[in-house]
Amino acid sequence: MNNKIIKHLLTRTNQNPRGDLDARLLAWLEQNKDGACCVEDLSEEIETSSASAYRSIYRLAAQRKIGFAASTYHDMSDMLRSFSGRTRVLFWHLDNDISAPVLEEWIDEDAPLEQGRLFGEDLASLSSEQLQGLIDEAKKLQIKRGIDRRYACISQAHRDKLTEVFGRIGITDPVYYAHSDDDISFLTYTAVASMPIDIVVDSGHGPTRLNCKALTIFGRGIVAATDSMFAAEEAQ
């Protein structure tokens, strides 16, 4: 949750509601703390319209009284797997350690500047060690955001591993990079003017030609095969 999302949520609800729906929702969450919930769960026990329930959820989320994620603002590809296909909003008790990556268009670009003043009035007041710590944290955040954009279609667990790997080289869009360990193996390429990525793929429905901005191929076998091919060429 960030200020940009909160401001938008406040446009989707009334800030001075009638009745006690907010209090009833919070009381219901106290009895249903285990994991994320959807409006359908709430509607089974609290008599209210779906529209009123959503307004209450938006309002409580904006007040930071509940955990919240919505497909409008977050990548929920992993979270929604155990819910119906119509579910687009989830909420949970704050005791849960649950989160979802924020979509690129809803990232609050001002947030790092605000967090940068945690140790004083401005950056000039920070010690060298504090500045380095801030730079390291900012770099980690930059890598994570880059991975979330480039690999939005894969699971959070795989993105976390990729964040760890790319954090070691400090970028998420290398022109060419290969990695292999016990957890994950891949080759990745980023198109540049001198190296366009023009491929033909066949997923079982016939060949398709693609001109790619980026290409990543996962699998220890293909990494090993590629290394062997390059080694054979160098030996000639």
For residue range 23-40, what is the model confidence (pLDDT) as tens digits? Answer: 999 999 999 988 999 998
Amino acid identity of 144? Answer: K
pLDDT (tens digit, 9 = 90+) per residue, 57-93?
A: 999 999 999 999 999 999 888 888 888 888 999 999 9
**Mean pLDDT throughout 43-63?**
91
Domains and CATH numbers, the chain: 3-102 (1.10.10.10), 109-167 (no CATH), 173-236 (no CATH)
Rounded CA separation 8/106 (Å): 10
Q: What is the pTM of this model?
A: 0.53
How would residue 107 be classed by pLDDT, with cut points 50, 70 and 90? confident
Rounded CA separation 26/59 (Å): 12
Percent of the chain whose predicted confidence (pLDDT) is above 90: 53
**Mean pLDDT throughout 101-123?**
62
How large is the angle between the packed helices 21-31 and 50-62, nearest 10 degrees?
80
